[in-house]
Structure 1
Amino acid sequence: MADLSTRYMGLELANPIIAASSSLANSVEGVKKLEKAGVGAVVLKSLFEEQIYAETEQMQGQEGNLYHTEAADFIETYGREFGPREYLKLIQDAKKECKIPIIASLNCFSEKWWVNYAKKVEAAGADGLELNIGVLPSDPMKTAQDVEAVYLDIVKIIKQEIKIPVALKIGPNFSSFANLATILSRGKIESREFIVGWCGRGAAESKPSWNGVNALVLFNRYYNLDIDIDKVKLVAGNPYSSANEIHESLRWISLLSGRVECDLAASTGVHDGKGVVKQLLAGANAVQICSVLYQKGLGAVQEMLQELTSWMAAHKYEKISDFRGALSQKKSEFPAAHERLQYIKLFVGIE
């Protein structure tokens, strides 16, 4: 029997499939159903700052707004009914009723709320915290460094204040994503020379001024905008991902595996066991699934686990660590293949 266990953000998981933050995990009963379905961990539905204010109207006028599919779902479904107190109770009750790791999720846009509620979810008993951040860089006066600083500042203040592991769910649209991911994973390192007795100056000493995240979740799938040309108004796009959307995270998981100082979770586009296998081969520690659970039902989890188990048996792998990252760029005999952006016959068989 294959060993599907894995370690993600310091947590022991029975298997690498994580139920991503969604309405399926907005109640204890929902979390119990996900556990029974076979997931290795659950990320609870995000606690939005709008819930903290209990005024969802702010979402339309707040600068730095977060445009997540989850946010739209919240506005339509929960409004004022599912606030911070209910969320903290959900954590407490889920921990009492379930054995799998329970990961809380925060989605704020005002800095003061991050630390306050990170502490609260830690006190409520969450095994870990996922920061769900997405700042739309729509201000032409803000530089790429300004945008990156928002993410770095949030991670810094959270990591300084809580002890439970922290994951950051992030989008791919940065001017130098590999560099940002590296900094987010290692934190800020300060180097200084030191004196060694009478021998004079010694080598530079490195001391972290703040620690990096325990995991990066690649990638956040933002709220899609569409236009109804008959009614001539803005409308929501398709909220669900498809299997064709796996490739962006697959590339970056393979590029970052073994190069960043944190775990990696793949998100968006994993719809079957093949997708799970691909992400593990690329170097993911875990995969998050959401859309497939809505489209196929919770039975999809067992189908994916069975497909993963069968593939491991066929390739004579006993445990996930035997093949995780085998096709990452770091271990590749042809590293350029991971970075190639243009179609060439060598890779796709057409010109």
Structure 2
Amino acid sequence: MSKQSRPPVVVITGASAGVGRAVVREFAKDKARIGLIARGRDGLKGAAREVEEAGGEALILPLDVADHQAVDDAASKVEDKFGPIDIWVNVAFAGVLSRFTDMTMEDYERVTKVTYLGQVHGTYAALKRMMPRNKGSVVLVGSALAYRGIPLQSAYCGAKHAIQGFHDSIRAELFHAKSDVHVSMVQLPGVNTPQFDWIRTNMPMQPKPASPPYQPEIPARAIHYAAHHKRKSVKVGWPTLEAIWGDRFASPLLDRYLGATAFKGQQGKQPVSADRKDNLYEPVAGDHGAHGRFDDTAKTSSPQLWLTMHRNQIGLGAVAGLVAGAAGLFLSQRRSA
């Protein structure tokens, strides 16, 4: 797909803000023709403008990914305008910061429908078009929390765990069908996006990342990479690896540790304002861009991701170094003989 002569046709959900907006900018560098899916019209207009300024084309598709028919209709509109979809990226999500027993079941279902079923709906719309052509790439966007749940985010963590299982199943079915369509999953750490200003919360203090977040351009690069390389999974940042391996080897201890630290660790020093708006059921008006309010502490690079993206070259370099070393040793021994 990276060798296409024509600009790719891409669909991105959650395209109006945060990681999704950064992903839009990353694909816009390819002069891609992009279907932009989100609920917030202001952010979609801003994203479309950025695509066009970069030399690409944009189609604004305001809809809720929890509505499977709306997602499928959007896929048809993209193909009617731009042609066959090459890449589909599922970014959209919703969250609530709350103890499980303090949540309403309506809110819990809403998070699940957007965060889990939204990716299912996007993947279904993509695969039903890609599989007959035997060509295309779907990227699921996960999280370290797909492997390790944390307190106050049970709905979000449950949805991300569900996506992880869904991913395994779909890949196995594609292999059974001998399909060249590829589905990958990118696991993210905490990211500096506007989500912390608009997720629903019933906690007293403002939501914040549990550890210093990464700037959204970093996961955007990982998602772009995953769309063009047949990796099952791309993990972003050392915190993601720490969460995955920590849960694998010390899950019961992590339950206790997070129970003691993660309540305070996910709340800032400022109280939640009485007029705070959230985006659980309706978008928050305005164009919020990609970045949140943590630019001062957010990480601007990820050596771990660089190593992940260049592991083949690193491996070849290591082999070449060993061969060169062995050849040098052999020649020196011949000369001494």
Do these two structures clear the TM 0.5 threshold for a shared fold by scoring above it?
Answer: no
Larger relative contact order (Cα-Cα within 8 Å, sequence gap ≥ 6): 2
Q: What's the TM-score once normalised by structure 2's chain length?
A: 0.38
Q: What's the TM-score once normalised by structure 1's chain length?
A: 0.37
By percentage of residues, which structure has more helix?
2
